[in-house]
Amino acid sequence: MKIRHPEHPSLVFLPSLTADHRLFDKQIEYFESRRNGFVWDAPGDGFRILADAIEKDLKCPALLICGESDKISSVKRNNAAWHKKARIHLHWIKDAGHNANTDQPKIVNKLIETFVKNLENKPV
């Protein structure tokens, strides 16, 4: 993997067990000219990796994005609990389901861009 923009934070997109890296094509395409971004096809379930990290007090900036119309009740419940427990930013996307980033890529990309810009503006 080539780091194109070492002065900027890297974005890691983590698909869940049944997804593949193409799920994040709209995000990689949008950020490729201005951010370091990659999709980690982690062994196993990306959801479980994130859940375990949150349970162990995740110490890196994170953003949770969930579609308001997501039909998987555990996703909504888990995101809300993580938001409350770990104070991870959570955004609900209108007119989006389980794959909010493909249902509403412009909205999701803007949320990610704003999140990263806010991180860059925070004093170290």
Cross-strand bridge partners of residue 57: none
Output the pTM of the full model: 0.77
CA distance linking residue 12 with residue 31, whole number of Å: 11
Mean pLDDT of 5-21: 70
Higher pLDDT, 61 or 102: 102
Q: What is the pLDDT of residues 24-81, one digit of tens each?
A: 888 888 888 878 777 776 666 666 777 777 677 767 788 888 899 988 878 788 888 8
**Pick from 55, 97, 58, 61: which is nearest to 76 by CA?**
97
Q: What is 20-82 written as a DSSP string?
A: -GGGGHHHHHHHTTTSEEEE---SS-HHHHHHHHHHT---S--EEEEETT---HHHHHHHHHH
Work out the pLDDT band at 16, boundaries 50, 70, 90.
low
The residue extents of the domains of the chain are 10-121
Cross-strand bridge partners of residue 93: 67
